[in-house]
């Protein structure tokens, strides 16, 4: 009886890990999509309103992605990969040190780079999401058969 309960727990854990990895891929793509929209909003605010750049960042980005604290951009690294974080950090390192037109062009450049990252994340999600789900289930079945 305890053996069956233990195997059931191992099976559920294995399935959960596969689904969790798949969920993380989906959420990374969603977060990059939100960041792309935030960069586009920032570009439009810089071009149209000619407002203070720090305020434009605060209005364009949500607290879950990027926020300004003591004149520094704080990036929430949840669900992002190192390349994504490095790209965003590179953008904010010298943000606000140029004139408005240069900043607008720079925001457009980084928005296109982030869009490329988002497309890669979408492709990765499409390729690997079902794979991780299946691997979790198959690994759970394998462990159960092995211990029977």
Could you tell me if residue 51 is left (phi over 0), alpha (psi between -120 and 50 degrees) or otherwise beta?
A: beta
- Decide if pLDDT at 15 tops 90: yes
Return the pLDDT at 16. 96
What is the rounded average pLDDT of the residues 101-129?
92
pLDDT band at 72 (very low <50, low <70, confident <90, very high): confident
Q: Is 72 helix (H, G, I), strand (E, B) or coil?
A: strand
Phi first, then psi, for residue 79 (nearest 5°) are 70, 0
Higher per-residue pLDDT: 95 or 110:
110
What is the rounded average pLDDT of the residues 65-79?
81
Return the pLDDT at 75. 85
> Which pLDDT tens digit goes with each residue over 33-42?
999 999 999 8
Q: Tell me how far apart the alpha carbons of residues 75 and 92 are, in angstroms, rounded to a whole number.
A: 10
pLDDT band at 65 (very low <50, low <70, confident <90, very high): confident
- Decide if pLDDT at 45 tops 90: no
Return the pLDDT at 135. 95
Percent of the chain predicted with pLDDT > 70: 99
What is the rounded average pLDDT of the residues 47-62?
79
- Decide if pLDDT at 54 tops 90: no
């Amino acid at each position: 009886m305890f053996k069956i309960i233990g195997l059931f727990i191992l099976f559920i854990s294995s399935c959960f890990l596969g689904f969790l990895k798949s969920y993380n891929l989906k959420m990374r793509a969603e977060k990059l999509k939100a960041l792309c929209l935030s960069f586009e909003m920032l570009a439009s605010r810089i071009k149209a309103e000619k407002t203070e750049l720090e305020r434009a960042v605060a209005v364009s980005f949500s607290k879950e992605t990027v926020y300004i604290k003591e004149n520094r951009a704080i990036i929430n690294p949840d669900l992002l990969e190192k390349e994504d974080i490095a790209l965003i950090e590179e953008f904010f390192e010298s943000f606000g040190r140029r004139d408005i037109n240069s900043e607008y062009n720079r925001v457009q450049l980084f928005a296109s780079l982030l869009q490329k990252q988002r497309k890669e994340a979408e492709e990765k999600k499409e390729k690997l999401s079902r794979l991780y789900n299946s691997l979790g289930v198959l690994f759970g079945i394998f462990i159960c058969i092995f211990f029977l």
